[in-house]
Amino acid sequence: MSAGPSLYRRHRPRTFAEVVGQDHVVRTLSNAVERDRIHHAYLFVGSRGTGKTSMAKILAACLNCERGPTIDPCGVCESCTSIASATSLDVAEMDAASSNSVDDIRALRESVGFAPISGHRKIYILDEAHMLSTAAWNAFLKTLEEPPPDTLFVLATTDAQKVPATVIDRCHRFDFQRPSVEQIATVLRRAAAAESIVVPEEALSLLARHASGSFRDALGMLEQLETYSGGEISLQDVLAVLGISDSELLFSTLDAIASAEPRAALLAVAVAVDGGRDPAAFIRELEAHARELLIVQTLGGAVPAEIALTPDHDARLATQAGTLGPAVLVRLLDLLSQALVAVRAGSDARTQLELATVRAAKPDLDPAAAAINARLERLEGSAGKPAARLAALAAPPTRQPATHPQVTPAKAPESQAPSVSPGPLAEQPATSPALEPNGKTANAPAEPKEAAVSSVIADEPTGDAMPLTLQALIEVWPAVVATLRSSNAMLGAVVEDAQPVALDGSRLVLAFAADAAFMRKKAEDRASRSALSDAVTKVTGRSLSLDYELRELDDPAEPLTLSAEELVRRLKDEFDAEELPAVEEEAN
């Protein structure tokens, strides 16, 4: 590597034509220079490394070049070379992070009064302008509003919210966009060619992706890698120097999650951590990998340029995206996000990493609704068709062709005629429990599982809603209760022991034990009914109306044995509550 300034300083753009990205800024400033419509103050806003200071120096060179003003400065005259080397007497660079006092601004105001020495204008570049103190801004405001002729101020900041509105009003503002991965790769490719550094495309792409949207960071990493490996940089060098996990570890971990093998997931984590990877960094890399899978999956298997590496890597990414359901990926991202929050709060990073991967690979360990959805998604994938969701939980009878003929339920006495609206329902066996005129299910002997599964099938839903059956709803009822508990713990305790007993189209009958009239009354409250209905919708994707009844529950293994008094006592103990005296209703 040649001696001299750092790589990112040597390869700063010197003209508007060399700028990569920021087309809106380049076009506006170019037109302003050509038409001699330069404003006296500009505010450049953007994250670090996006080219704010470089753009300010290009503007200064355009205005002070010996053949200028021009949009194509020569770069060889005394003015251009002094600006590039930061030695120009007419272009002053000031770091507001260290020079932010009133005295510093007073010195700037005194120098503003002098005419340019060798160039056409005096230009002041104030970097990290938001660091100026309030008193300094007040001292600077008048000068900024009415500067002497041929004086230009360029304020650069990463946090425009800290710049006073009175200052912003006096400037022309430009917002610098974060460069794309391809734009950063272009700059890296150009710098590597100029420095005679051999870098394969996959290594360049990986560097660009880990530059966090900063040209300066990308060139800094390239310089670090050149020092490490000389003039030829390999992909393994990038992985080693930047501490990035081998993509094979990421694919192996996600393969274990897709196969529901928590042991394999733990082994992949052990290989990564025992190999020297930081557990917290590995969590972030898993999160980035899961995000890429979600993007590829959403795009139908296409790998966009911003995440593409090599043909083999891209092909494997598309294949793995097809083996993981969307619910599994979304839940994995949630788990990894929770793990990072726990790590920042002081939890052990490796423990949180292992917990997240095991819970993702084995969702039945987690009673939350998201975990239930992940299990259903996995079952859907095993069935091979999206329409087969919940098939492993409750196999409904074979549906008729697309004509969906209307089927009349088994004939029953008029006193027990089913109140079922005609519609595209699957054929119901004659053993289905009849519905009484009041909308409640008549007592019927216990049915075998197969009959219960096919007893009532709701209308085929549209969109992503799951095709519900009564048995399928019973299977996911714990997830409904868990979802309800997350927003209303007391109501969750009230309906915890209730059981779905009938599903008629969009009407769900929920049964409480015969001696649980108190719980039924609490559930019938309008707010409680709405909250429970919302929880059902979140889990099943179906909007169901609710009816309640008291009956002897079919499953004697989990009877509701709490009396009203016992329930009140338990609620008081669990929630540290107190019982309020009943308010007598006023007589009509």
Start-to-end Cα distance in the chain: 95
Q: Is the pLDDT of residue 284 over 60?
A: yes
Q: Is the pLDDT of residue 147 over 50?
A: yes
Q: How deeply is 408 buried, as exposed, middle or buried, from its count of CB atoms within 10 A (0-12, 13-18, 19+)? A: exposed
Q: What is the largest CA-CA distance in the chain?
A: 107
Which tens digits make up the pLDDT trace of 327-337? 888 889 999 99
Q: Is the pLDDT of residue 102 over 70?
A: yes
Q: What is the dihedral of CA 219, 223, 229, 235, to 10 degrees?
A: -10
Architecture of domain 247-383: Up-down Bundle (1.20)
pLDDT score, position 452: 35
Domains 181-242 and 470-575 share a fold: no
Which tens digits make up the pLDDT trace of 229-254? 888 888 888 877 876 667 788 888 99
Q: Is the pLDDT of residue 503 over 90?
A: no
Amino acid in position 481: V
Distance (Å, whole) CA 376 – CA 450? 19
Q: Is the pLDDT of residue 342 over 80?
A: yes
Looking at domain 470-575, does it have CATH number 3.30.300.180? Answer: yes
Cα 118 from chain centroid? 53
Q: Is the pLDDT of residue 399 over 60?
A: no
Indicate the fold that domain 22-175 takes in CATH: Rossmann fold (3.40.50)
Residue 157's pLDDT band, with cuts at 50, 70 and 90, is very high
pLDDT score, position 554: 58
Q: Is the pLDDT of residue 396 over 60?
A: no
The H-or-E segment that residue 148 falls in is none
CA atoms within 13 A on the CB side of 281: 12
Provide the whole-model pTM: 0.56
- Mean pLDDT within 449-462: 35
Cα 162 from chain centroid? 27
Residue 88's pLDDT band, with cuts at 50, 70 and 90, is confident
- Mean pLDDT within 520-545: 84
Q: Domain residues of the chain, as ranges?
A: 22-175, 181-242, 247-383, 470-575
pLDDT score, position 52: 92
pLDDT score, position 352: 92
- Percent of the chain clearing pLDDT 90 (strictly above): 16
Residue 475's pLDDT band, with cuts at 50, 70 and 90, is confident
Residue 363's pLDDT band, with cuts at 50, 70 and 90, is confident
- Mean pLDDT within 261-287: 88
Architecture of domain 181-242: Orthogonal Bundle (1.10)
The H-or-E segment that residue 346 falls in is none
Angle between helices 369-383 and 326-344 (to 10 degrees): 150
- Mean pLDDT within 117-130: 87
Mean pLDDT is highest, among 253-262, 359-368, 400-409, 525-534, for: 253-262
Name the more confident of 119 and 228: 228
Amino acid in position 48: R
DSSP state string for 328-385: HHHHHHHHHHHHHHHHHTT--HHHHHHHHHHHHH-GGG--SHHHHHHHHHHHHHHHSS
Q: Is the pLDDT of residue 140 over 80?
A: yes
Q: Is the pLDDT of residue 403 over 50?
A: no
What's the whole-number average pLDDT of the chain? 77
